[in-house]
Amino acid sequence: MSHAERTFIVFLGPPGSGKGTQARQLTDYLGLPQISTGDLFRFHLQHATDLGRLARGYMDAGELVPDGVTIRMVEERLTHADAAAGAIFDGFPRNLAQVTALEKMLAGAGGVSLAPVLVVSDAEVLRRLGGRRVCRTCGHVYHVEFSPPQQPGVCDRDGGELYQRDDDKPETIQNRLYVYYKQTSPLVGYYFARGLLAEVDGAQPPAQVQQVLRALLADRGIATA
Ligand code: AP5
């Protein structure tokens, strides 16, 4: 596939709006990898790398990890073979400096194809993040109420232990929301102005959100329905 045919999707939306859930479901459909900066940082935390040690304090406080390290990490990730045809970004870019950096990275590759923003209320964010549980082994995401595992605390897929993310505590969630409104929400206007924004009601059940996204991708000629 030539560079001009590359597809880059940028998911926007507050913490807990379902960016990861939806991006993951699109990977096979589009044949593109999901690039989640949050997941990449958590990988480094788990493996106690220098980057993980640096990121921990920011993540635990719900603040953004400094742009320099975040941008370098994404640049490196985009060199992997699986991103040859494009990527689905989840959690990046998160401020205007990261948008500018992404534009440079994608110069000559056609730029961003679509930026869906998942719209959910703050009350829903609190409900979703408070109940989120993640498998320590495979990373599959559950919700104790909305998508519970068959056996509490155990992953249906591989029997791994389910845990609650450190930054899913109520006081950290509040700050993550604040950081979203202050630093990330201006990106909604940025992509709107470029005709790339697609507003999606993220309060619907996950399968319906996915249907809407696939219809949008078909409308834009990014995928066939
Ligand atoms: P990150 O991991 O990106 O966290 P986030 O943006 O806060 O997003 P979440 O992963 O919390 O939520 P999501 O929208 O993916 O929702 P999910 O699908 O899991 O970032 C964490 C930290 O890393 C940041 O705070 C920062 O410190 C650092 N960081 C990351 N990127 C950075 C960057 N670019 N620059 C600087 N720092 C960065 O769903 C949530 C829950 O809801 C789940 O339990 C799920 O099962 C459930 N759910 C999902 N959809 C639905 C639905 N439709 N109905 C009911 N339940 C649903």
Map out the domains of the chain with their CATH numbers: 3-33+80-219 (3.40.50.300)
How much distance in Å is there from the Cα of 18 to the middle of ligand 1?
7
* Active site members: 19, 94, 132, 165, 176
- pTM to 2 decimals? 0.95
- Atom of ligand 1 at shortest range from CA of 203: 53
Atom of ligand 1 nearest to the CA of 15: 7
Give 82's contacts (C-beta < 8 A, 6+ positions apart): 33
pLDDT of 2 reads 39
pLDDT digits 0-9 by tens, 57-88: 999 999 999 999 999 999 999 999 999 999 99
Pair 162, 153: CB distance under 8 Å = yes
What 3-state DSSP class applies to 164? coil
**How far apart are the two ends of the chain, measured CA to CA in Å?**
21
pLDDT of residue 224: 72
Q: What spacing in Å lies between the alpha carbon of 132 and ligand 1's midpoint? A: 10
The Å distance, Cα 19 to ligand 1 centre, comes to 6
pLDDT at 225: 61
- Per-residue pLDDT tens over the stretch 77-124: 999 999 999 999 999 999 999 999 999 999 989 999 999 999 999 999
CA–CA separation, 8 and 52 (whole Å): 26
- Quick one: pLDDT band at residue 1, thresholds 50, 70, 90? very low
Two tokens, residue 34: 């999901």
For the four alpha carbons of 62, 65, 66 and 67, in that order, the dihedral sign comes to negative
**Percent of the chain whose pLDDT exceeds 70:** 97
Mean pLDDT of the chain, nearest integer? 95
Q: How far is CA 213 from CA 24, 61, 94, 130, 140, in A?
A: 12, 32, 21, 25, 21
